[in-house]
Structure 1
Amino acid sequence: MINKHTRLGDAISHIKDGSTIMIGGFGTAGQPAELIDGLIELGVKGLTIISNNAGNGNYGLAKLLKTGAVDKVICSFPRQADSWVFDELYLSGKIELELVPQGNLACRIQAAGMGLGAIFTPTGYGTLLAEGKETRHLDGKDYVLEMPIKADFALIKAHQGDRWGNLVYRKSARNFGPIMAMAAATTIAQVSEVVELGKLDPEYIITPGIFVQYVVEATPSSPTKTGA
């Protein structure tokens, strides 16, 4: 029988230098901080990170950026009051930014997960974000061609999972997790609890195990305890 429940270190060890990694979370909500800590301990470099934002304080994703392991960030909301780590790196030319409007980010990840090709979206038309991209006028409206966003790995956080990789989420912590799991070659899910098969109500399973390769049980840490 398939058992995807494994130790954090074993799951993270598959990530190599130069990997493209999706990291779930809307700010710190749903961010797999313990998986990120494991990634830091692994010591890989030259990473491309795809996430909604570029880190908060010194916690989680910001902590990873601070190590210098990340060459490029693809996100929709890189700067806010506590994004000082990213700000310093970007202003000093140490990290590359690809800015993607939030709706476009979600749709492009969904396109990759669903096996679609490029998509047309009105968001960004007529702005710097559309420079060099194909545009079309369809049904009375202008659109920009955007490519799917996929990744080598997705690091996501769920509330519960079973050994087959089925996942349920807790409220807004779901955010980008389900679509990132579909768009990555390998998905590593951090859960607060691994339950026995049959304990998860099928009606509440959001991410089926077919999209998850590894399940890691970890107790989430608090941002306030890490200086964020």
Structure 2
Amino acid sequence: MSFGEPDNPYGKPQGQQPDQQPGYGQQPGQQPGYGYPQGQQPPGYGYPQAPPVQPYGYPAAPTQMPGGVKAARVMLWVISGFQILSGILAFAAMGTIDEAIDDAGAGSAEAEAFADLGKGVVAVVAVLTLIFAALSITLALKMKSGRNATRVCAIVYGAFATLIGVLALPLGIITMALGILIIVFVAKSDGAAWFQRPRH
């Protein structure tokens, strides 16, 4: 069988015009197009497509507050409510100290000094409680627009709330649990992305 025979599958096709030959209208000397027509790309193999990125290579910034940050914000409001209530009760307890001294019938100078010391300690605790309540409210308000400093302050505040809850056990178990959850939710990666997002 020679290559010139018309039925030879290995020979040069006979009688085909240049537009019928492989390559679909390519000029002589060009490589014929194999697999996919010109201008089309085969689907990707092996690796998934990368997500689109923002200009300069930064990933897309979150546009809504993540659920963990929202939960931490609610917990800050709850803790501030507990602290305001505790401060009011502490100030109310100052009057009961005088009543307890009067009911005991101890009108000596030592009893009065002891009562004054007790009232001073209660007043300091009440003022500190109200200061922490104000800080909690400020952090809750700054969660929406705050930067990374707000996140750091919230983590430190959660650590203090946890410590105060441990010192006040068993009554402080709620404050301790909320403090731990604030730390966890704000320190997560989506929380970090929220507070470090670019501002325009």
The two structures have a TM-score, normalised by structure 1, of: 0.21
Which one has the bigger helix percentage?
2
- Structure number with greater CO (CA < 8 Å, separation at least 6) is 1
| CA radius of gyration, larger in | 2
